[in-house]
Structure 1
Amino acid sequence: MFGSQSATPTVDLAALPADLYLLDVREDDEWQAGHAPDAVHLALSELTARTEEVPADRDVYVICRAGARSEQATSYLNQLGCTALNVAGGMLAWEAAGLPMVSEDGSQPTVV
């Protein structure tokens, strides 16, 4: 579905800006279990059909569970002319770093 480039732009958690646009490309069940509070959810499987929802006028930081799907999405968005960066380590690294998370049902958020 998505092409892959060998040099996908990647950013570490420590380098994320405070006002970032964080695009979470995990599936619905993963999103519901736990995600960053201000993230925007758009599953990778829906990205090609909903690309117009991704802002073209600002940097887009893309995250998934560990980094593979977000790398695909980052490459795809950059091919379309967006400025997208893959968040290294994904939500597993986010959770391990103790960064804030929320769940959709109010339960203890977790990465699945």
Structure 2
Amino acid sequence: MPTVGIEDLADGDFLLDVREDDEWQAGHAAGALHIPLSEFVARYGELAEAAPQDARVHVLCRVGGRSAQVTMYLVQQGVDAVNVDGGMQEWAAAGRPVVDDKGAPGHVL
């Protein structure tokens, strides 16, 4: 499965967060698209609308398990997708900004 580390992400990379609503509201990467794993197949069209054409999709969850499932699904659909190793826990540990659903500083559940 294609995987990247937090250190490989650049500002402006397209991020897809597949955690559940309560996790998202507590803290997420600013600018990420949120589609929970539990709703992903039904809401797949939102990804096509939001992602820049030919952009790599960097998939995040809390630690990497749920995002791995979505990454595999996307790759099977022909999407250039990679799983972000360590997920939001590594994102926060690396000092990357985490915001809540109101844009204030957040935390990872």
Give CA-to-partner distance per residue, 1:39-65, whole Å, 9 cap, x none.
110001111111122236211000000
Give the whole-Å Cα distance in 2 for the aligned partners of 1:66 and 1:36.
14
More helix per residue: 2
- Alpha-carbon RMSD across the aligned residues, in angstroms, is 1.4
Instruction: Give the Cα separation in 2 of the matches to 1:47 and 1:73.
Output: 8
Equivalent residues in 2 for 1:89-104, closer than 5 Å: 89-104=86-101
Q: 1:43 maps to what in 2?
A: 36
**Aligned counterpart in structure 2 of residue 82 of structure 1, from 61, 79, 84:** 79
Residue of structure 2 aligned with 1:60, choices 48, 57, 62: 57
2:17 is the alignment partner of 1:20? no
Percentage of pairs with the same residue: 52
> For structure 2, which runs of at least 5 residues remain unmatched after alignment?
none
Task: Report how far residue 72 of structure 1 moved.
Answer: 0.3
- 1:71 corresponds to 2:68: yes
Q: Which amino acid aligns with 1:93?
A: E
Q: TM-score, normalised by structure 2?
A: 0.90
